[in-house]
Structure 1
Amino acid sequence: MANNMNTNAHQPTGIDFSRLAQQLPGMQGDIQRLQTLCRGSAELPVVMVLGKYNHGKSSLLNALVGQPDRFGVADCRKTTEVEHCDAGGVRWVDTPGLDADVAGTDDTLALTAARARADVRLLVHSLQEGELDQAELTLAHKLLEEERQTGRALLVVLTQRDQMSDASVVAAIREQLPQTRMVAEVSANSYVRGIAENKPALKAFSGFEAFRTVMAELLGGIQSRKAREKQALLQRLDAGLAKLETEARKTLVSLQEDYQHQLASYEAAMISVEAQIMRKFMEAQA
Structure 2
Amino acid sequence: MVSSDLRGQAAREIHAVLPDRADDLARLQLIADGGVPVVTVVGKYNHGKSSLLNELLGQQAFAVSDKRETVVLAHSVQQGVRWLDAPGLDADVGSEDDRHAFEAVWLHADIRLFVHAAKEGELDARERALLADLLDDDERSARQTFFVLTQADQLADDEELDWVHAALAAQCKEVVWRAVSSTRHRKGQEGGKSLLVERSGIPALLASVRNALDRVPQARAHEAARLSDGIRAALSEHRAAQAALLDTLRASQQRQRADFDRGLKVVIGKAGVDIEAMLNALGTDHAIVPDSAKDRYASTAGKRERAHLQIAYSRACIAIDGFLAGHGIIELPSEQRTAASSINSVMIAVLGISVKFRKDLRRMFCEAPGRERMQRDFTHYYELSVGRKALSQRIIDVDAALSAADSALDALNTLIAST
Q: What's the RMSD between the two structures over aligned residues? A: 2.1
Runs of 4 or more above 4 Å deviation: 10-15
Aligned pair partner of 2:243 in 249, 266, 276: 249
Percentage of identical aligned residues = 35
Distance 2:137 2:208 in 1: 20
Residue of structure 1 in register with 2:259 after alignment? 265
- Residue 237 in structure 1 maps to residue 231 in structure 2: yes
Quote the offset at 1:31 in angstroms.
0.5
> What's the CA shift string for 1:13-68, capped at 9, x where partnerless?
8751111111111111110111111123xx2211011111111111110111111x
Aligned pair partner of 1:177 in 144, 155, 172: 172
Residue of structure 1 in register with 2:55 after alignment? 63
Quote the offset at 1:268 in angstroms.
3.3
Task: Answer with 1 or 2: which has the greater Rg.
Answer: 2
Aligned pair partner of 1:283 in 264, 277, 291: 277
Aligned pair partner of 1:124 in 115, 120, 129: 115
Residue of structure 2 in register with 1:35 after alignment? 29
Alpha-carbon contact 1:144-1:179 (below 8 Å) kept: no
Give the counterpart letter for 2:266 in structure 1.
S
Residue of structure 2 in register with 1:73 after alignment? 64
Alpha-carbon contact 1:114-1:121 (below 8 Å) kept: yes
Residues 116-265 of structure 1 aligned to structure 2 (within 5 Å) = 116-164=107-155, 166-167=160-161, 168-180=163-175, 183-265=177-259
Alpha-carbon contact 1:119-1:222 (below 8 Å) kept: yes
Aligned pair partner of 2:40 in 48, 55, 60: 48
Residue of structure 2 in register with 1:6 after alignment? none
Alpha-carbon contact 2:165-2:177 (below 8 Å) kept: no
Task: Figure out how many residues of one structure are paired with residues of the other and give that number.
Answer: 273
> What's the CA shift string for 1:247-267, capped at 9, x where partnerless?
212221221232133223312
Alpha-carbon contact 1:34-1:230 (below 8 Å) kept: yes
Aligned pair partner of 1:25 in 19, 38, 42: 19
Quote the offset at 1:164 in angstroms.
3.0
Structure 1: where are the runs of 5+ without partners?
A: 1-9
3-state SS of paired residue (1:38): helix
Alpha-carbon contact 1:128-1:163 (below 8 Å) kept: yes
> What's the CA shift string for 1:127-170, capped at 9, x where partnerless?
11111111111112222222111111111111111113533222
Return the structure number with greater helix share.
2
TM-score scaled by length of structure 1 = 0.88
Quote the offset at 1:204 in angstroms.
2.5
Residue of structure 2 in register with 1:95 after alignment? 86
Judging changes above 3 Å, is the alpha-carbon distance between structure 1 residues 179 and 250 closer, same or farther for their aligned structure 2 residues?
farther
Judging changes above 3 Å, is the alpha-carbon distance between structure 1 residues 282 and 164 closer, same or farther for their aligned structure 2 residues?
farther
TM-score scaled by length of structure 2 = 0.61
